[in-house]
């Protein structure tokens, strides 16, 4: 089964990281990629540009609108700070294995990770 692993971080915290913090994040991610690529489970992945360089296009019946910045949801009581920062696609035997791989990237930098099954068809029916 294929899974997309979506990593979220606070862009302001990323910018504020020390060189030592950056080196530690790089070391941990390199180790994960090396380990998982060695098993054949890592299919691809990449880091994403800073959220300020994002364009969001929304559909509506009146026509699409385009805004600068990422898709975020904030309420009057909360502010969305974590943004999608990187992803990878893995192919492994179970959701439990996908979660075990994804847990290796959660730390002071990547504060949330989504693990989502991928279906290889464009139908809108069953998953």
Distance CA 20, CA 121 (A): 43
Class of domain 2-118: alpha beta
The structure's pTM equals 0.80
- Enumerate the domain spans of the chain: 2-118
77: confidence class by pLDDT, cuts 50, 70, 90: very low
Q: Where is 39: in which H helix or E strand?
A: helix 19-39
- What length is written for the chain? 127
Edge-to-edge strand order for the sheet containing 110-118?
A: 42-47, 83-91, 2-9, 110-118
Task: Tell me the per-residue pLDDT of 6-55, one tens digit each, with 9 for 90 and over.
Answer: 999 988 888 899 999 999 999 998 999 899 989 999 999 998 988 888 88
pLDDT tens track for 93-119: 999 999 999 999 998 889 999 999 998
């Amino acid at each position: 089964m294929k899974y997309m692993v979506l990593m979220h971080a606070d862009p302001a915290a990323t910018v504020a990281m020390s060189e030592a913090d950056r080196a530690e994040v790089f070391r941990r991610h390199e180790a994960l990629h090396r380990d998982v690529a060695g098993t054949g489970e890592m299919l691809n992945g990449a880091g994403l540009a800073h959220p300020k360089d994002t364009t969001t296009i929304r559909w509506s019946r009146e026509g699409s609108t385009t805004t600068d910045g990422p898709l975020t949801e904030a309420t009057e009581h909360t502010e969305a700070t974590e943004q999608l920062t990187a992803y990878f696609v893995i192919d492994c035997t179970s959701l439990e294995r996908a979660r075990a791989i994804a847990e290796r990237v959660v730390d002071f930098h990547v504060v949330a990770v989504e693990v989502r099954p991928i279906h290889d068809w464009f139908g809108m029916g069953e998953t």
